[in-house]
């Protein structure tokens, strides 16, 4: 067995527009002091010994395959060798995968090197495992010199995907997005970590935020401060911010309990990022955009349990037997600059959110899939959301005369609403090729939604739906009641009614809650159970079920379910 070391308007515009319209930690959990679980098996020499290396940032796994999984950890080789510091000697690290948590039945093992070149992070792309099987893993360092004791990382649990051609009875995924360190505690991760029934957790972007302390939320509202305190711009900064987030006990628990399948959105780089810049990037004073992006991507692939592609992107495909193909998108690296709100430029066929190569890849993957369900992980909403929609027979001709968007006045052109030609081509492809049972899984907007994806929004429901979309709310990032500083659900019910009135394909929207989703997939349905937290600012926040929506096989429509799947 071998291993491989792998080295404009925003969502805040959406909630403000809506406001205007309204007028238990598992046994395996790691902790922020993960080094406390490390053990020294040999007695110390009589003279003062050098401090032992430590695994302060926990362990993680991701991107499960039928025969393998990607493992991750980070070694702190000596005190002061903090993320992004460049300090610390190269440190040999061994890894083990076992069938039991006591590591008496080793299934695979190997070695790698924690080097300053990779910020002392280590990865092992393990193969040769059995499909649909739970494994335990850990990293070890030390124990090779006179008097040196072994230091173990926390133990992680992971699970491989079902065999490619297997008939799978069911799958279950946790689904999360938008976790701002300064806005609250990551209790959603703790509740997902405690669930023993998940095959993996999907993280749909904004795993971290790039702002300076107090920058978002507004100055003085930070519950806990970012490190570093300034806006992150270079490689050392992005490494340090990743390291900061991975000291969170609940985040460590999540990574130690389940494989995480992640894509990025904008805040892994800068707010409202596009291929040539970002709303939150000032050329000159904040350096060259291409250099900032390169630094952010390098740190991301060092610190996340994600396989890096040769193109430096996160779009990729994972298969879960014959039940589901999961198509994961990168909607930042190739997109055109965002258009202005109200501009007909959103319909320009020369503008793109996916890039030509990625859109062709997605279309080919959807058309060639023999899986029951085609799941698409997209960091921003594909369903149109328009305000002040005109009657269908007036909308298109008037839009053509006035240079307005032909599908209604979109309020968030950072979403697929700002790139309607790509959306039209993709939805047309689903219809023309007879591709059914496609479900888009989305984050970004800090609200929970259940939508049909209409072929023509202006005439829906007389015109058909091509797919469904389930959008999860934020883990902590601010939504409507947070921005307005009002009690939850005091003004949002009016706003939600206005949104649904202008967008008949929207079945449900919750503008105020924080939480997560659990997606249950069987041969007959794909159901999203939406869970909400009692208080994002409370470290011991409880979780409760709020609503469930499902799409039945062959319908392409979302319907309410009366209970969560147990």
| Stretch 512-535: mean pLDDT | 98
Neighbours of 37 (CB within 10 A): 17
Whole-model pTM: value is: 0.89
Q: What is the pLDDT of residues 118-128, one digit of tens each?
A: 999 999 999 99
Q: What is the pLDDT of residues 441-488, one digit of tens each?
A: 999 999 999 999 999 988 899 999 999 999 999 999 999 888 888 888
Of 304, 310, 237, the residue nearest 264 (C-alpha): 304
State the pLDDT at residue 9.
40
Q: What is the pLDDT of residues 71-85, one digit of tens each?
A: 999 999 999 999 999
Radius of gyration of the chain (CA): 23
State the pLDDT at residue 219.
60
State the Cα–Cα distance between residues 454 and 427, nearest whole angstrom.
Answer: 8
State the pLDDT at residue 502.
86
**Residue 439 region, left (φ>0) first, then alpha (ψ -120 to 50), else beta?**
beta
State the pLDDT at residue 408.
62
Q: What is the pLDDT of residues 12-55, one digit of tens each?
A: 444 444 443 343 333 333 333 333 333 333 333 334 456 789 99
State the pLDDT at residue 412.
85
State the pLDDT at residue 524.
98
State the pLDDT at residue 396.
52
Give the three-class secondary structure for 287.
strand
Q: What is the pLDDT of residues 295-330, one digit of tens each?
A: 999 999 999 999 987 788 999 999 999 999 999 999
Please check the confidence at residue 507 and state whether its pLDDT lies above 70: yes
Q: What is the pLDDT of residues 132-189, one digit of tens each?
A: 999 999 999 986 544 468 999 999 999 999 999 999 999 999 999 999 999 999 999 9
pLDDT mean across residues, the chain: 88
State the pLDDT at residue 98.
98
Q: What is the pLDDT of residues 387-405, one digit of tens each?
A: 654 444 444 553 444 444 5
Q: What is the pLDDT of residues 206-231, one digit of tens each?
A: 999 999 999 887 666 789 999 999 99
pLDDT grade for 288, boundaries at 50, 70 and 90 = very high
State the pLDDT at residue 31.
39
State the pLDDT at residue 218.
67
How far from 470 is each of 114, 153, 535, 555, 560, CA to CA, in Å?
A: 39, 36, 23, 15, 12
Which residues are paired to 338 by β-bridges? none
Query: Are 85 and 79 spatial neighbours (Cβ–Cβ below 8 Å)?
Result: no
State the Cα–Cα distance between residues 386 and 326, nearest whole angstrom.
Answer: 28
State the Cα–Cα distance between residues 264 and 322, nearest whole angstrom.
Answer: 27
| Stretch 372-379: mean pLDDT | 98
Give me the domains of the chain, ranges plus CATH numbers: 31-159 (2.60.40.380), 170-561 (3.60.21.70)
| Stretch 514-539: mean pLDDT | 98
């Amino acid at each position: 067995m071998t291993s491989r070391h792998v080295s404009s308007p925003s969502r805040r515009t959406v909630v403000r527009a809506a406001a205007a319209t309204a007028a238990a930690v598992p046994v395996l959990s790691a902790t922020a002091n993960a080094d406390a679980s490390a053990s020294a098996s040999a007695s110390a020499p009589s003279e003062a010994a050098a401090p032992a290396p430590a695994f302060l940032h926990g362990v993680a796994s991701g991107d499960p395959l039928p025969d393998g999984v990607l493992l991750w950890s980070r070694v702190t080789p000596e005190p002061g060798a903090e993320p992004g510091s460049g300090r610390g000697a190269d440190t040999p690290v061994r890894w083990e995968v076992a069938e039991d948590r006591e590591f008496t039945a080793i299934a695979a093992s190997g070695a790698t090197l924690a080097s300053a070149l990779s910020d002392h992070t280590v990865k092992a792309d393990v193969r040769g495992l059995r499909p649909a099987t739970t494994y335990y893993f850990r990293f070890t360092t030390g124990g090779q010199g006179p008097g040196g004791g072994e230091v173990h990382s926390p133990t992680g649990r992971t699970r491989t995907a079902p065999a490619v051609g297997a008939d799978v009875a069911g799958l279950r995924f946790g689904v999360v997005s938008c976790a701002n360190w300064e806005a609250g505690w990551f209790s959603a991760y703790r509740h997902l970590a405690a669930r023993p029934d998940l095959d993996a957790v999907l993280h749909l972007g904004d795993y971290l935020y790039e702002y300076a302390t107090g920058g978002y939320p507004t100055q003085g509202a930070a519950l806990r401060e970012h490190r570093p305190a300034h806006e992150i711009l270079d490689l050392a900064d992005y490494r340090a911010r990743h390291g900061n987030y991975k000291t969170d006990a609940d985040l460590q628990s999540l990574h130690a309990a389940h494989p995480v399948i992640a894509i990025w959105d904008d805040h892994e780089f800068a707010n409202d990022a596009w291929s040539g810049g970002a709303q939150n990037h000032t050329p000159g004073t904040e350096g060259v955009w291409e250099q900032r992006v390169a630094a952010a991507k390098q740190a991301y692939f060092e610190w996340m349990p994600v396989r890096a592609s040769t193109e430096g992107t996160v779009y990729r495909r994972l298969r879960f037997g014959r039940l589901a193909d999961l198509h994961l998108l990168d909607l930042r690296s190739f997109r055109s600059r965002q258009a202005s709100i109200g501009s007909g430029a959103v319909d320009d066929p020369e503008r793109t959110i996916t890039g030509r190569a990625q859109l062709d890849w997605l279309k080919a993957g959807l058309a060639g899939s023999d899986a029951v369900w085609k799941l698409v992980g997209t960091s921003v909403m594909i369903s149109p959301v328009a305000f002040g929609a005109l009657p269908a027979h007036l909308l298109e001709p008037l839009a053509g005369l006035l240079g307005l968007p032909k599908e209604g006045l979109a309020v968030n052109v950072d979403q697929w609403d700002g790139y309607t030609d790509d959306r039209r081509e993709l939805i047309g492809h689903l219809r023309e090729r007879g591709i059914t049972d496609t479900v888009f899984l989305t984050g970004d907007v800090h609200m929970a939604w259940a939508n049909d994806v209409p072929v023509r929004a202006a005439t829906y429901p007389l015109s058909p739906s091509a797919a469904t979309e389930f959008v999860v709310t934020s883990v902590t990032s601010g939504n409507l009641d947070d921005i307005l500083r009002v009690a939850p659900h005091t003004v949002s019910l009016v706003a939600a009614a206005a949104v649904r009135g202008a967008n008949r394909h929207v079945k449900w929207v919750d503008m105020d809650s924080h939480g997560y989703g659990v997606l249950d997939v069987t041969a007959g349905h794909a159901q999203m159970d939406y869970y909400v937290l009692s208080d994002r600012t409370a470290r011991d926040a409880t979780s409760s079920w709020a609503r469930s929506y499902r799409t039945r096989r062959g319908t392409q429509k979302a319907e309410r379910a009366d209970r969560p799947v147990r």
